[in-house]
Every structure is written in C-alpha cells, then in structure tokens.
C-alpha cells in the first residue's frame, strides 16, 4: 500500500470514529468533522507519494514501520479528530506540527 493510501485509510477510520460519536447538542460538529475527514481521505488517496504534501509528511516523521504505517502522535490525532477545514491544509498542518512520541 502506498503512503498516500495509508494516510487515506487512517483518515477514513477517524471519520468513522467521528460518525460513531453520540453527544448531546454537538451542533452537528461530529458530522462536519466526519465529512471533512472523508474529503481529506479522498484527497490524500489521489496524491502520489512524490507529491510535496506527502513528502512533507515523510520528512516530518509521520510514518513508522519502515515508512509503511502512518503513525500520528497523540497531539496530531487530536488535531485530526477535530478537523473541519480543507483537505490540503490538514496534510500541511500535520506535516508542520511538532512531533512527540505517542505514549
């Protein structure tokens, strides 16, 4: 599986997580986040691994297991789960975020 496909699969999983959340008075935030993540997943899936957004994720250390697994740290997971913006901006923000080890 390519790096872009790995990122897309991860984002689809986070969208499903958002859709499964039940919160009173969330003002449709979970649905908006899920849609933004599905949009980002489709966007990421269409990128080549040589795309600058994907190489930015690689350079930022977002892949483990010899570069085959997209592994965001805890702070990046929080960012992803609350995302409501443009797909390209999500990938750029992830690449620019400081890295910390997941506990």
In a domain, 9, yes or no: yes
> What pLDDT score was predicted for residue 102?
47
For range 15-39, the mean pLDDT: 88
Provide the domain limits for residue 72: 3-96
Is 102 within a domain?
no
For residues 62-71, average pLDDT: 85
In a domain, 74, yes or no: yes
In this prediction, residues 8-21 reach a mean pLDDT of 94
In a domain, residue 87? The reply is yes
Question: What's the number of domains the chain is made of?
Answer: 1
Task: Give me 33's structure tokens.
Answer: 């986040």
pTM over 0.85: yes
Question: Phi and psi of 63, rounded to 5°?
Answer: -120, 140
């Amino acid at each position: 599986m390519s790096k872009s496909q790995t990122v897309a699969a991860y984002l689809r999983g986070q969208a499903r997580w958002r859709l499964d959340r039940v919160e009173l008075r969330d003002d449709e935030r979970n649905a908006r986040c899920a849609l933004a993540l599905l949009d980002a997943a489709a966007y990421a899936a269409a990128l080549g691994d040589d795309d600058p957004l994907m190489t930015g994720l690689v350079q930022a250390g977002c892949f483990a297991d010899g570069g085959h697994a997209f592994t965001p740290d805890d702070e990046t997971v929080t960012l992803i789960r609350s995302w409501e913006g443009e797909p390209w901006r999500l990938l750029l923000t992830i690449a620019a975020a400081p890295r910390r080890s997941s506990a």
